[in-house]
């Protein structure tokens, strides 16, 4: 991070919490995990409030990004100022990541994974992947396919946005202990704290 981006980070505040710092950040792909992310954010807030007995700030781009700011700057600022980064990972999202990187296009989900791994390495944040099922184009829900944990699934090329090797990043990412959640369309709205 350069000095100017560090300064921008200190000054940046989200519109919902009026703060540059969040207890948790939810990383997801709008095209496939928007409804899960929207259901998960209040759940983490509730559990966090119960456990810490204070307001628990969860960064969700749809609630926290400021209207006028550049979207990429906004989510990277939010991510850099969060203590826990939760990743919602589905087969659909990973297929997009693979397709875009193979076409030499930038992928923001991958950018968030790279940034989170860096923060974790610097002990500035903890990261927590959650793998979830997907609904395919014909509307059929399937559970997460475990073959996506294999590094061979990802292109052995560099991500243009960062210059980092895609396969190494994903291999490092899936070595982190995460969780698996089933969230089929029929169960929407029933995600609740145990
Ligand atoms: Zn916020």
Using one digit for the tens of pLDDT, what is the confidence trace for 38-66? 999 999 999 999 999 999 999 998 888 87
Q: pTM here?
A: 0.87
Query: Mind giving me the DSSP string for 66-88?
Result: -TTS-HHHHHHHHHHTEEEEEEE
42 domain-assigned: yes
Strand partners, 130: 88, 179
Residue % of the chain over a pLDDT of 70? 89
Question: How far is Cα 166 from Cα 158, in angstroms, rounded to an integer?
Answer: 6
Domain total in the chain: 1
Quick one: how far is CA 130 from the chain centroid? 9
Burial class, 51, CB count within 10 angstroms (exposed 0-12 / middle 13-18 / buried 19+)? exposed
- Check pLDDT > 70 for residue 73: yes
CA of 65 to the centre of ligand 1 (A): 7
Evaluate whether 14 touches 66 at the Cβ level (below 8 Å): yes
Q: Is residue 105 part of a domain?
A: yes
Of 82, 67, 64, which is closest to residue 16 (Cα–Cα)?
A: 64
Domain-located, residue 21: yes
Question: Residue 28: pLDDT above 80?
Answer: yes
Q: Which residues are within 8 A (CB) of 154 and not within 5 positions of it... i.e. 6 or more apart?
A: 97, 98, 101, 166, 167, 169, 170, 171
Query: CB neighbours (10 Å) of residue 140?
Result: 9
Say what the pLDDT of residue 136 is.
Answer: 73
Whichever domain contains 121, its CATH number is 3.40.50.10140
Query: Please, what sign has the CA dihedral across residues 166, 33, 81, 68?
Result: positive
Q: Which of 7, 30, 42, 14 is nearest to 112 (CA)?
A: 30
Over residues 143-158, the mean pLDDT reads 95
Q: How many CA atoms lie within 13 A of 49 on its CB side?
A: 10
N-terminal to C-terminal alpha carbon distance within the chain: 39
User: Does residue 114 surpass a pLDDT of 70?
Assistant: yes
Between 35 and 118, residue with greater pLDDT: 118
What share of the chain has pLDDT > 90, as a percent? 63
Distance 80 CA to ligand 1 centre (A): 12
Instruction: Give pLDDT tens digits for 124-142.
Output: 999 999 999 877 778 888 8
Q: How far is the CA of 73 from the centre of ligand 1 (A)?
A: 14
Residue 192 covered by a domain:
no
On average, the pLDDT of the chain sits at 87
> What confidence tier does 194 reach under pLDDT thresholds 50, 70, 90?
very low
Looking at 7-11, 60-64, 101-105, which range is the least confident one?
A: 7-11
Q: What's the angle, vertex CA 23, arms to CA 2 and CA 129, rounded to 5?
A: 85
In 10 A of CB 72, how many CB atoms? 12
Average of per-residue pLDDT across 140-145: 87
Q: What is the pLDDT of residues 159-184, one digit of tens each?
A: 999 999 999 999 999 999 888 887 66
How far apart are the CA of 104 and the centre of ligand 1, in A? 32
Range of the domain at 55: 3-187
Is residue 193 assigned to a domain? no
Taking the centre of ligand 1 as the mean of its atom positions, its distance from the CA of residue 51, in whole angstroms, is 19
pLDDT at 69: 72
Q: How far is the CA of 57 from the centre of ligand 1 (A)?
A: 6
């Amino acid at each position: 991070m350069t000095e100017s981006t560090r300064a921008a980070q200190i000054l940046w505040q989200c519109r919902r919490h009026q703060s540059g710092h969040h207890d948790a950040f939810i990383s997801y792909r709008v095209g496939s995990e928007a409804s899960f992310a929207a259901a998960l954010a209040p759940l983490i807030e509730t559990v966090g409030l119960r456990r810490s007995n204070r307001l628990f700030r969860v960064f969700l781009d749809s609630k926290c990004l400021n209207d006028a700011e550049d979207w990429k700057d906004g989510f990277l600022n939010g991510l850099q100022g969060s203590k826990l980064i939760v990743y919602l990972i589905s087969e659909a999202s990973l297929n997009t990541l693979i397709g875009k990187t193979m076409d030499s296009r930038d992928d923001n989900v991958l950018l968030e994974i790279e940034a989170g791994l860096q923060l974790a390495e610097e002990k500035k944040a903890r990261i927590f992947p959650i793998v979830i099922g997907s609904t395919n184009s014909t509307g059929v829900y399937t559970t997460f396919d475990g073959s996506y944990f294999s590094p061979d699934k990802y292109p052995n090329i560099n991500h243009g946005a960062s210059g980092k090797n895609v396969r190494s990043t994903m291999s490092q990412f899936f070595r982190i202990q995460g969780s698996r959640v089933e969230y089929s369309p029929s169960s929407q709205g029933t995600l609740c704290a145990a």
